[in-house]
A and B are shown apart, each in its own frame.
Chain A
Amino acid sequence: DQQVKQNSPSLSVQEGRISILNCDYTNSMFDYFLWYKKYPAEGPTFLISISSIKDKNEDGRFTVFLNKSAKHLSLHIVPSQPGDSAVYFCAASGTAGTASKLTFGTGTRLQVTL
């Protein structure tokens, strides 16, 4: 049972344009969401997060939007750069102590072309 879903396995975007990566979840107990970036043969690195009390969080070129009613979140990267090419994982967690226990999506491979 995949509780966090990234339905697009890959995405290609031209440099300078906006990249939009989508993520859906099914567990209503999730209240904290994160995006990670992963290069081949490396561990994921944290990008940005959002709590369920917010609907938007921005950090430089990265913005995460959360729509709780739709159980949907998205990561916007603007402008996209070639160095952004990587696999992006959306992750979610609930509360009660083990909040860092994350459930990951399957990832979306972003390719930023020149």
Chain B
Amino acid sequence: GAVVSQHPSWVICKSGTSVKIECRSLDFQATTMFWYRQFPKQSLMLMATSNEGSKATYEQGVEKDKFLINHASLTLSTLTVTSAHPEDSSFYICSATQGWANNSPLHFGNGTRLTVT
């Protein structure tokens, strides 16, 4: 089946530094990738939608200058948390799909747990 690899699985960084998270579709070309954030005991909240070769579309309330998304190829999207602060500590998950249709499967990575000290 389709596999989405997310790296790193966990990262600890100091406040003020930047962290890059990679999301790769291993055996399919992902036309669209999505980035989610999940706080403890809360639902997955969509942060942004990323299409290959174009600018990401951010959800309301998500700072695009803080969460930089690059979707340079059909198999790789990156999320960079810039100038991280403790409140950015969360579980970040990417997902990828091959198509636009309602029933296009959405494949999730295993997530990245970010802790900012």
Q: Which residues of A contact B (CB under 8 A)?
A: 2, 4, 9, 31-32, 34, 36, 41-46, 49, 51, 89, 93, 95, 97-107
Contacts and interface: CB of A to CB of B under 8 A. Distances in A.
B87 to A, nearest CB: 20
Given A43-B93, A43-B108, A98 B100 contact: yes
Contacts of A97: 100
Interface size class of B (residues with CB under 8 A): 20 to 34
Given A41-B111, A43-B93, A106 B43 contact: yes
Contact of B43 (A4, A31, A51, A100): A4
B110 to A, nearest CB: 5
Interface of B: 4, 6, 9, 32, 34, 36, 41-46, 49, 93, 95, 97, 100-111, 113
Contacts of A36: 108
Nearest to B51: A98
A31 B4 CA distance: 26
B6 A43 contact: yes
